[in-house]
Amino acid sequence: MNYSAGFTRSPGHFTDRITADGRDGWPVEAGRYRLVVSRACPWASRSLVVRRLLGLEDALSLAVADPVQDEGGWRFTLDPDGRDPVLGIRYLSEAYRARERDHAGGVSVPAVVDVPSGRLVTNDYHRITLDLATEWRALHRDGAPDLYPEALRDEIDERMESVYRDINNGVYRAGFAERQESYDAAYGRLFARLDQVSEHLSTRRYLVGDTITEADVRLFTTLVRFDAVYHGHFKCNRNKLTEDRVLWAYARDLFQTPGFGDTVDFDHIKRHYYQVHEDINPTRIVPRGPDPRGWLTPHHREELGGRPFGDGTPPPPPPAGEVARPLQEG
């Protein structure tokens, strides 16, 4: 990546799809695949939220990588003996090399791995969650929401594209800029889009329609990290999330909705950004704050109407082994 010319996010190199008809050679099948994530990563967090909302925990097992990579990349040091108990590997890169022996590119999360062969299937972070919502329908829980309703897809896609370009990726463009003009441009686009989204959400509970959609999931994973890392670490400091009345209430509404906040681990988030990005934070000191308890304060967004799950129901509590770190300061 040439940061001096402006931050560019690489697309997923492995873009096979897991589909109901198996047209790419990977049919939807309960228990066959393992989702590898880091709770620190906003792109991986999308898949964590969607998997929970749709009730796919039993159908798609979960591996959580250490938030702090070493020279070998994403590692499974959170598991006994430093190995993923299902895949039997120490590093996610081993699944990449099982798919492509001479793979020399990046190793990213989220990644879906075929358990029988140990081979990576896909790291296409844009497509994984959309396929979970559409191609995996036969394995959804009873009462699962429709996160990508066909009648609203054009509007959802439009919202997601602008949010991705200016907000999801915009914070990275600002944070990794190596020239003042690159930073200034990213900073300007970021806050112009946040202002536009804030105005849009001032009279409606969700981004598109009156229920949660994929668009909300994608915005949430950036907003939940904003004050903890992007405001200071990435110099996105015109204002904090907590200082925007609408966006702060919207983010709290989602955080308190089952399937969102119960996937968030602020410890993992802060340790990853502040300890891995040594070029930005050479001391690797992890800040103690901000106090996360504000995420549980009343938001009053229900006054705008809307039904989080439409005609469906909230997901049950997460499995015991997947409970994220409780909210605590420092």
Q: How far apart are CA 180 and CA 214, in angstroms?
A: 34
Our answer to whether residue 236 is catalytic in this structure is no
Cβ of 189: how many Cβ atoms within 10 Å? 18
Our answer to whether residue 172 is catalytic in this structure is yes
Nearest to 211 by CA among 161, 280, 155: 155
Q: How far apart are CA 279 and CA 40, in angstroms?
A: 18
> Token match 């300061």: residue?
329
Q: How far apart are CA 324 and CA 330, in angstroms?
A: 15
Structural element, H or E, at residue 37: strand 33-37
Q: Kindly write down the DSSP assignment for every residue of 163-214, as one continuous string.
A: HIIIIITHHHHHHT--SHHHHHHHHHHHHHHHHHHHHHHTS-SSSSTTS--H
Choose the catalytic residue: 172, 206, 250, 273: 172
- Residue type (1 letter), 298: P
**Hey, what's the torsion of the CAs at 71, 74, 80, 86, to 10 degrees?**
-130
DSSP state of 286: P
Choose the catalytic residue: 33, 41, 125, 206: 41
Q: How far apart are CA 268 and CA 325, in angstroms?
A: 9
Residue 26 sits at the vertex; the CA angle it makes with 25 and 29, to the nearest 5 degrees, is 140
Q: How far apart are CA 111 and CA 136, in angstroms?
A: 16
How would you list the strands of the sheet with 111-114, edge to edge?
Answer: 61-64, 33-37, 111-114, 119-122
**114: which 2 tokens?**
């075929």
**307: which 2 tokens?**
């039904």
Contact 84, 76 (CB under 8 A): yes
Enzyme catalytic residues: 41, 172
